[in-house]
Structure 1
């Protein structure tokens, strides 16, 4: 199997690095300064064993990829970047290529299926950082991440099993699941911390209350919509002790949305995280004031180039409750 990592940031970079180190043919697709740094120095993987310069083949877009009959794409861009990525892949990748959404959010698989017949999803549990061109940091000192793989909308076919096998060969606890979206909705609930982490100072009580109320809204919305989700106990058992946070400096706690704000990215995927709960709440008549505020404030933070974690959570609670 030849794995194309489309988007070599924190998630794609760590996955691609570990696949390459395991001897699995891997190609990265990157852009801008990150692409240039990888071309000049290789992808630098920072893990518990030190820094490793990996000469992974890298392309600027899908036209530069050497496509094979056994190529599989792991789509690792942010959800708001999916349409542009699929435009590129549609122009250059064989149309039967399996496209796998290794992304947060729950809308990407459907968008893939609109363009390609073989759509898959990966539920990603991975501590990764990407703040410097050419460098990705693996935040776990144990397994690099936990990955669930499945065909969309359901099924654990031979392709899903083969992908999971290769990921296990690269050190990831990975399983093929026939209900992949139930796992991804569990991750969606967990990702409701992202906008809160990106926007608000962690002052203890008010910060915790904001997150608890965001979670409560998420659970209420999914219940009203009748959406299947993996339960807390199943998730806890699956996690076991696979992920062990290593000390990578004070920035090691930042969510992927926090990292985007910290890097000065021009957009973030909040519309597909808190915004997904807001959308479902409006569709099913469930109030979601906390997630609405988090969505608005995260968008404002990016638009006005404000520092990550610069807002007061107590002010947010007062605004919601007045």
Structure 2
């Protein structure tokens, strides 16, 4: 089994070490000082009080690696379109694309059914390029629950979690998704195969759509946002708007909104990824986490006044900081042909 992890940062590096330790032929695509350190010293994972070092093939030139069985995309979602051309040499006739990214993935309306079957969303896939050049038929969904961080170039620290639920867009348990799940399990991670992967995508996005932008605006951690009456109420309003949109597409939430907020509060003084990006002057993941929900609301005719207000504020905040450039978007998706 050949697996390429495209974007071997904190999560990708964690996956790379664990899979390599389990005997999988892993290659990593990375860049900069992190890549240089991995090439020279290997990739180190600090986990459970132990250190593990592996020496997988590392490169910033994917064409060197050839076709893979699986390409696990661990980039920020807004970065994917910019590397589509470089990904092409990794794609053989049977290669599967595993979208280990936050937010709604490019393949969302593949085998979805209904009026929007075969459509793309401009806010996450401008011009439908991911749909055409990666192909929705290659996709396997993946939700990332662990928290990890790059402690130093070539060094990954595991903070908590080991769950990476997987699922085919069709809901089937195919040989491909089961094989990947088994590989994750051998590597000490939980990767259950779900028959309703979109439900799990929305469950995670449900928190991201509100907590991320609010934290970037207030610099509050999760415990503060979820305890303060004002920001808790605002979070709940955005979540209820998002829930109405998701349920219009047939999504089922296995917890209610109060339980979801309480779960976030109990995480404690955690900074969301969007706040961390703002503080570190990195491009902010606004479109895949927030704008896409607004776009889907417009498709369904469901109004999103709370989300609209927070999105306008966080987009301006990020634009002023030079960390976000809104793409040209349409309220209507386009029908998309398979690659």
Q: TM (normalized to structure 2)?
A: 0.75
Report if the CA contact (8 A) 1:101-1:120 is conserved.
yes
Alpha-carbon deviation of 1:75?
Answer: 0.9
Alpha-carbon deviation of 1:132?
Answer: 4.5
Alpha-carbon deviation of 1:86?
Answer: 2.8
Report if the CA contact (8 A) 1:261-1:302 is conserved.
yes
Which position in structure 1 is the counterpart of 2:7?
Answer: 7
* 2:249 equivalent to 1:226: yes
Which position in structure 2 is the counterpart of 1:72?
Answer: 70
Mapped partners of 1:64, 1:119: distance in 2: 23
Alpha-carbon deviation of 1:195?
Answer: 2.1
Residues 1:197 and 1:128: Cα distance change in structure 2 (over 3 Å): farther
**Can you give the 5+ residue segments of structure 2 that lack an aligned partner in the other structure?**
109-127, 260-265, 324-339
Mapped partners of 2:54, 2:12: distance in 1: 14
* 2:276 equivalent to 1:256: no
Which position in structure 2 is the counterpart of 1:158?
Answer: 175
Mapped partners of 2:8, 2:80: distance in 1: 14
Report if the CA contact (8 A) 2:99-2:105 is conserved.
no
Residues 1:42 and 1:196: Cα distance change in structure 2 (over 3 Å): farther
Which position in structure 2 is the counterpart of 1:207?
Answer: 231
Alpha-carbon deviation of 1:92?
Answer: 4.4
Mapped partners of 1:37, 1:175: distance in 2: 33
Paired residue secondary structure (1:94):
strand
In the TM superposition, 1:237-252 aligns within 5 A as none
Alpha-carbon deviation of 1:7?
Answer: 0.9
Q: 2:142 aligns with which of 108, 122, 147?
A: 122
Which position in structure 2 is the counterpart of 1:104?
Answer: 102
Mapped partners of 2:311, 2:85: distance in 1: 27
Which position in structure 2 is the counterpart of 1:198?
Answer: 216
Mapped partners of 1:273, 1:161: distance in 2: 28
Q: TM (normalized to structure 1)?
A: 0.78
Q: Output one character per residue of 1:54-91: Cα deviation in whole Å (capped at 9) or x when no partner.
A: 323211032122545xx211111111112223322224
* 2:303 equivalent to 1:287: yes
Number of residue equivalences: 287
Paired residue secondary structure (2:219):
coil
Paired residue secondary structure (2:101):
coil
Alpha-carbon deviation of 1:22?
Answer: 2.2
Mapped partners of 1:151, 1:197: distance in 2: 32
Report if the CA contact (8 A) 1:38-1:134 is conserved.
yes
Residues 1:285 and 1:109: Cα distance change in structure 2 (over 3 Å): closer
Mapped partners of 1:207, 1:15: distance in 2: 34
**Can you give the 5+ residue segments of structure 1 that lack an aligned partner in the other structure?**
237-243, 308-322
* 2:171 equivalent to 1:173: no
Mapped partners of 2:229, 2:151: distance in 1: 29
Which position in structure 1 is the counterpart of 2:32?
Answer: 32
CA RMSD of aligned residues (A): 2.8
Q: Output one character per residue of 1:269-293: Cα deviation in whole Å (capped at 9) or x when no partner.
A: 2111111221122222323233223
